[in-house]
Amino acid sequence: MNILILGYGKMGKIISRIAGDRGHQIAARINIDNVSDLETLDTSQIDVAIEFSQPDAAVPNIKWCMENGVPVVVGTTGWQEQKEKVAEWCQEKNGSLFYASNFSIGVNIFFKVNEFLARLMQDQNGYQASVEEIHHTEKRDAPSGTAISLAEGLIQNNNKYKDWKLQDAEAIEAGILPITSKRIDPAPGTHTVHYASAIDDITIQHTAHSREGFALGAVLVAEWLPDKKGILTMKDFLDF
């Protein structure tokens, strides 16, 4: 496959290496310094794009992919307030857009565990839930997309909570699930879901040891995506 890399930071470099190791060709590597190169790319030679840039660049990159008929795998977070606009572009162009807040297989298993635990805790009124995420200091958006996915999964499976808010875990508001964000180097990502009561605490946690799992997952999805249409997620890819 010929893969276009949109965003050539730490993740883009790892994705490029893993794609090469798996026998793929890199059609181009685009970052803030050479974004104008998109105007002259031969899109007929691109099978799929993998987008890991920054929140302010993600939506223009997605739009370019939709307008040029390039299936795109998006791992950038922090742009979801524009998801309705992006969905309209995808529908208008009959495009292929795969978005995940986290491509790690382990994290997606963790999402399912979180949803199951939320259902178990549905009627346990003595517990207050919270979510904490820890990332490296270069991560610009807070809370992380993975933390938001955890919060949304919990809320959908436990009607005690109606919404989430970025705040201290001790700042309890009725119906609000607090998310705490910390930026500590060199942490690639730790996510914790915590249920606290006067009697005991229940905690589930996922800790990433490197970015390799995220990058490999993105490449595996890129191999799977090109003949699909519409907006797809890890639930479609993993089928569980």
Q: pLDDT per residue over 179-219, tens digit each? A: 999 999 988 889 999 999 999 999 999 999 988 988 999 99
The reported pLDDT for the residue numbered 135 is: 93
Answer yes or no: is pLDDT of 220 > 90. yes
Q: How far apart are CA 63 and CA 194, in angstroms?
A: 38
**Which residues, including other chains, have CB under 8 Å from residue 64's CB and lie 6 or more apart?**
38, 70
What is the model's pLDDT at position 140?
78
pLDDT over threshold 90, residue 88: yes
Banded model confidence at residue 16, pLDDT cuts 50, 70, 90:
very high
Tokens 């970025």 map to which residue?
166
CATH number where 81 lies? 3.40.50.720
| pLDDT (tens digit per residue) in 104-153 | 989 999 999 999 999 999 999 999 999 999 999 888 789 998 999 999 99
**Mean pLDDT calculated for residue range 81-85:** 92
Per-residue 3-state assignment (H helix, E strand, C coil) for 17-81: HHHHHCCCEEEEEECCCCHHHHHHCCHHHCCEEEECCCHHHHHHHHHHHHHCCCCEEECCCCCHH
The 25-30 sheet, strands edge to edge: 25-30, 2-6, 48-51, 72-74, 96-99, 230-232
109, 84: one domain:
no
Both 9 and 71 in one domain: the answer is yes
pLDDT of 240 strictly over 80: no
Tens of pLDDT along 25-58?
999 999 999 999 999 999 999 999 999 999 999 9
Indicate the DSSP class of residue 211. S
Report the C-alpha gap between 237 and 82 in whole angstroms.
Answer: 23
**Residue numbers annotated as active site:** 135, 139
Give the separation between CA 68 and CA 229, rounded to whole angstroms: 14
119 and 185 both lie in a single domain: yes
CA 239 to chain centre: 17
| One domain for residues 174 and 157 | yes
**Same domain, residue pair 94 and 23:** yes
Q: How many domains does the chain have?
A: 2
CATH of the domain at 161: 3.30.360.10
Please state the pTM of the whole predicted model. 0.81
Question: Containing domain of residue 149, as a range?
Answer: 105-207
Residue 155, token pair as written in the block:
């809320």
